[in-house]
Structure 1
Amino acid sequence: MSKVSRRAVLRALASAPAVSVLGAPMIARAAEIELRYGNNLPSSHPLNVRSQEAADRVKEKTGGRVEIKIFPNNQLGGDTDMLSQVRSGGITFFTPSALVIATLVPVAAINAVGFAFADYGQVWKAMDGALGAHVRAAIEKVNLHAFEKIWDNGFRQMTSSAKPIETAKDMAGLKIRVPVSPLSLSMFKALDSAPTSLQFSEVYTSLQTKIVDAQENPLSIIQVAKLYEVQKFCALSNHIWDGFWFVANGRAWKGLPDDVRGIITEAINDAGMKQREDVKALNDSVQADLQAKGLAFNKTNPDSFRAKLREAGFYKEWKEKFGAEAWGLLEKEVGALA
């Protein structure tokens, strides 16, 4: 057997392609198109789980040309910051709740009219139909592209630290955190409470330090954000249904190749439909989990809340603000409100 010198071996290795320990070439190919997506929820939330699946699907379907990088849990700032960034192009995608994007597109808050939807059947019929199309058209006018399927943020419930909330009378003077939303402020003022608008990133510490005594969010958010650690009671009020509009910077979206837009659209809309089912399944089990963690649940009297809102002129006021067309599309699915 011939002997091979150490120098010859090193020379051969130097000229050979780099390989990994598994024998695969160590070639790091950067994506041609890198898109940034920010949101305000923990990575464990169904929104982020399904978003990652959509990102993986886009990368696969484009042969690695397109990579969507996800920044969850307010890594890029609060809702207001990210809304500004997606408008300027600092990020490509953002999933604001309808209440958040309504600070820019007022009619987007129409799905959050207090006690409008009785169940999910009414929600999806409206938001996948004419009302949702009306809102998307308004979003397009501010140079944002909204995908067709709104993602589920769930029916919102109220939690408190001092006492249970059962009827509208229990709202009097209650210091409650609400999103940065004129509609939410108007609704809770009409219920005689003392609402304070805060970014979602500030909710836990504000409850912990008693800046506010109550808040309202879907059960899944209460769970993943661990708000049960700083609240004692949860009223199953279903007072608002809210969703996440998956939006893109308009200029960046229009600048993508047609085939890429098609792949992304299909991936995001399909992921949104799966996320809806995830949230439904999560809500079916989350109440028992929260009860086990010490949160006390009670039912509410929705008729007392609706009566108070009518008496305060809430429905009449927002019918005028949203306009006859949008309000008519809402009432077509849910019945007369005002």
Structure 2
Amino acid sequence: MKKDVLTQEEQQQQIEGLKSFPFFHGPNLDVYGFSYWLYDCLTRDGYENIRPNEIMDLLLELAVPCATEKGHIFEAPILDMNEDKKWFYPEGKTILLHIAPISSFIHDFIYEIGDRYLKVAHDIEVPNFAYWLKREDIFTFTYLHTFFSQLRGLMKQVTSLRAMLMELHLSKNFGVEFGSLSASLKEKDELHKYAHNRINMAIEQEFYLEAITLTESIISDRLSMVLYLRGEKAKSKTLNKLVVLSSAILPDTLSHRIDEWRQLRNFALHNLVRSSPIDKQVSPSEFNTKAKDIAISGNKLVADLEVWFDGFLADEMNPYNIRISDKLERMN
């Protein structure tokens, strides 16, 4: 396979363009445009035995049976036609495909490109959906990576996605039947909302120890859930142990902040009365000031942890992501 010979500057410019390529018009994928530019990226990476109409035909072959709802797939005119666009809109129109059915077949679509058209040899025991994609296929990888990123962005707007992803990984790791945890996860979300509201109320009413205790509970639960999603039972481990176990998953800055707050929490819950008789005692007013600071900083920490946790689910733990497995990298 012969790749396009580009200068480093030209290659970087084209890659940057792919990173901002607009795949979706609202909730709909432009099938013609998607197929043509995927073909263009494949040829730039040296895959010559495929044509743009084959990509589009494959996409529609898999999409049509999944697009059961009216309006999920339809023809639309190109309103801003010009000479350049005639290459991939020869009839002055395209097909728009709603995001809803895409999630049902997109892995099969990418797999079939390699299996049916590119004829790339693969290990049938590892039917990775992107088995044919190599790290040096920079144009195709960037194109598909951007596509999946935009797909995930649209899926984040689906309120049930978070619970679905958690249940997907819990059922996979612990042999629980998919669908059996929905009620429990919904109850857990309701408890988190209640705890968040209670923390804010406690801080407002100066019940700082209550806010700190609830903050620790939320942090411990989130770290436990992270470990569960990675296949490890957290059970009733202490916050200190949870921080240690999750440190390889959390961003370093966030992990350090949690550990620092954990130590402040120890001061707030244990150091007002329980202290050495030979040390200077903490006055009630000084303790109250410190407890307030710890409660407020803990509340901010929880908010940042929730933002990271949502990203952890919606991106890293999301099956709609283009990945190249280590085994397949070694094979190539």
TM-score, normalised via structure 2 length: 0.24
Structure whose alpha-carbon radius of gyration is higher:
2
Of Structure 1 and Structure 2, the greater helix share is in: 2
Of Structure 1 and Structure 2, the greater strand share is in: 1
- Higher relative CO (Cα under 8 Å, sequence separation at least 6) belongs to 1
